[in-house]
Every structure is written in structure tokens, then in C-alpha cells.
Amino acid sequence: MLRVGAVRRSSAHPLRFPYTDTLKILQKWGAGCHFYGNGTDAELDEFEALLDAQDKNAPILALFCEFPSNPLLRCPDLPRIRKLADKHGFVVVVDETIGNFINVDVMPYADIVVSSLTKIFSGDSNVMGGSLILNPSSPQYQVLKATMTADYEDTYYPEDVVYMERNSRDYRSRIKRVNDNAYDVTSFLYSRSLMDDSTPAEGKVIKRIYYPRYETVEHFATCQRQPPTGKGGFGGLFSVTFTSTAAAIAFYDTLLCAKGPSLGTSFTLASPYAILAHYAELDWAATFGVEANLVRISIGQESADVLKSWFETSVKAAEDAAAKEQATTKA
């Protein structure tokens, strides 16, 4: 999903589904926030109406979004958001961690671009870091630059800097491999899903694949670098939902990759996202399309043959589990 975050003079405003406690922190401290958990064009209509009717003494100060979002890999309409920001004077903060700057260029529409360097920029899972870039063409640049100059404190541990730089040297080639692998895997999953109406639906247990090549395609294309790096240039993260919990469990349990909550690792990593991040609020998460049986997958650097074998085995296990469950129910 998308999260737009807009902040008033003492408040914040997110656009897309939030990760774990992000929304709770914004709601608990400060003057609160306006939350648009789907980040759709219709919700941008609502946001625009809010801006037009806002209290001029307590205006929206900032909007936060991801490009694409986690875990539903949807992209907001950044050109429209930029126009609204220029009209109403708020700061646009875009997190491009999942898209990554090899695949997308969000800078023309943002005042601030942030990214988690812990993820695919490093890839090796042995160092943490993050980046924040100010857009020198932003109407807010002078104020933001002055604030950064006054408040910035360099606390990055020197050895972490060394490891981060070393890990990043093959960044572009790793992005190409990930783009290629994810494109091939999602093509296979699509062919075995209900999304593919060119083949019979009988026996299929994959409900949907969330990936930029299938979600908000036109908004992703606005910022997609051309020509793309590798196949499609859509990145390595995608999510899958299933027609039954039994199918989801079988798929996840038999998938022979590492399991864990991160993403962007050089090895393929899967997680039961909603169960892991929103276990105490699954019904709430479902209202924004994040189903309890959603499996999020971050594709790594494995060979195409290895990945094909893994996912063929897991899809077959999911289909068998669903068929067994259906047979038991009928009996």
C-alpha cells in the first residue's frame, strides 16, 4: 500500500500502509496525523480537499510516501503530489528504498529523498545505515539546508562506513540480477495465479501478486529510469496472497529460502508480513488490503535455476494443500 503522510504545524500526514509502529508514533506524539492507508488516487482527492479546507494557522507541513510501498508495492501519483505541495507549501518526503535509485528517479518530485542503505545498497546484512538527500531545486531547499547544517551530527561509526562503501561497489550489477530474477519468478507465479485468465482457474491457489509491473503501473512508469536495468527494472520485492490459509502455510513452509523480516538481502528472504508486523491488529491491516496470509518475498542473487526449482516446489505444495483441504471439507 501507499502511505501519504502529511504534517500540520505540529502534526504529520502519511500516504500508504505503515510499517509496525510508525503510525502509532505519529498519532501519539505531536498534534496527530492524517492517514491515507491505501494511497490511491481517490485518497489523493480526499487529501486535496483537506488541503483546501485546512486551518491556515495550522497548515499541513509535510507529506511522507514510499515509492513503491511496503508490502503492496504500489506507487503514488508523485507529479500530482508535487503540484499540491507547490500550491500549499508543504514538504514532500519520498522513501525510495524499495524502488532504489538504479530503477527509479523520484528526485524531481521530492524535497527530501530518504533510503535505507541497510537493505539492497549494502546487501550483505552486516552493516546498518541510511541516507537523506535534499533536492537543491526544491523551493524549501534553503530552509531545509539551514536546518540540516544546524542540527546534523555525524555519529556514523567509521568501520560501518568502510563496510558500507565496500558492500556497495557491486550495487548496480546486483540490482540487475535482482531485477532479472524477480521478473522471472513473478512471471511464473502470475501464470499459476487467478490473475492470469488465459488459463483455467481450477486448482489455482495464488490470488494475487503485488509487484510494480502489476500495481499502479502508470505511476511507477512516471519515475522509472529508461532504459531499465535488466528485465523490467521493477526491483526485487513482491508479495503474494492465497485463496486459503492452508495454501499460504504450505507455500511458505516449503519455500527453501531464508526466512526473516528484512528485505534487500543478497539471498532470497521470505516473511509472513502481516503475521510478523501486525499480529495484534490483523483485522485492521486487512481493511487496507494487507491480508493475514500475505507472504512478502525479497529476491536475491541465486541462480535462475535454483529459484525456479524453489518456487515450482512451493506452488505445487500450496496447490496440493488446498486440494487436500477441499477434499476433507467435502468428506
In this predicted model, what pLDDT tens digit does every residue of 194-211 receive, in sequence order?
999 999 999 999 999 999
- Final residue before a domain boundary, out of 119, 136, 165: 165
More confident residue, 34 or 234: 234
**CA-to-CA distance for 292 and 315, rounded, in angstroms?**
18
Q: Do 179 and 107 sit in the same domain of this protein?
A: no
| Mean pLDDT of the residues in the chain | 92
Q: Do 160 and 176 sit in the same domain of this protein?
A: no
Q: What CATH code is carried by the domain that includes residue 48? A: 3.40.640.10
Task: Give the per-residue pLDDT at 21.
Answer: 75
pLDDT at 186 over 80: yes
Q: Do 174 and 153 sit in the same domain of this protein?
A: no
Task: Give the per-residue pLDDT at 106.
Answer: 98
Q: Do 117 and 174 sit in the same domain of this protein?
A: no
**CA-to-CA distance for 53 and 274, rounded, in angstroms?**
35
Instruction: Out of 99-103, 156-160, 277-281, 310-314, pick the least confident.
Output: 277-281
pLDDT at 154 over 70: yes
**CA-to-CA distance for 206 and 237, rounded, in angstroms?**
17
Q: Do 284 and 147 sit in the same domain of this protein?
A: no
Other Cβ atoms less than 10 A from the Cβ of 300: the count is: 23
Q: Do 175 and 65 sit in the same domain of this protein?
A: no
CA angle 245, 248, 252 (to 5 degrees): 140
| Counted domains in the chain | 2
Task: Give the per-residue pLDDT at 33.
Answer: 85
Maximum average pLDDT range among 28-32, 51-55, 75-79: 75-79
SS3 category, 314:
helix
Give the structural domain span for 256: 170-330
Q: In this predicted model, what pLDDT tens digit does every residue of 274-300 receive, in sequence order? A: 999 999 999 999 999 999 999 999 999
pLDDT at 6 over 50: no
Q: Do 136 and 270 sit in the same domain of this protein?
A: no
Judge contact between 205 and 193, C-beta under 8 A.
Answer: no
Other Cβ atoms less than 10 A from the Cβ of 274: the count is: 22
> What's the average model confidence in pLDDT over 36-53?
92
Q: Do 198 and 245 sit in the same domain of this protein?
A: yes
Task: Give the per-residue pLDDT at 50.
Answer: 93
Other Cβ atoms less than 10 A from the Cβ of 294: the count is: 24
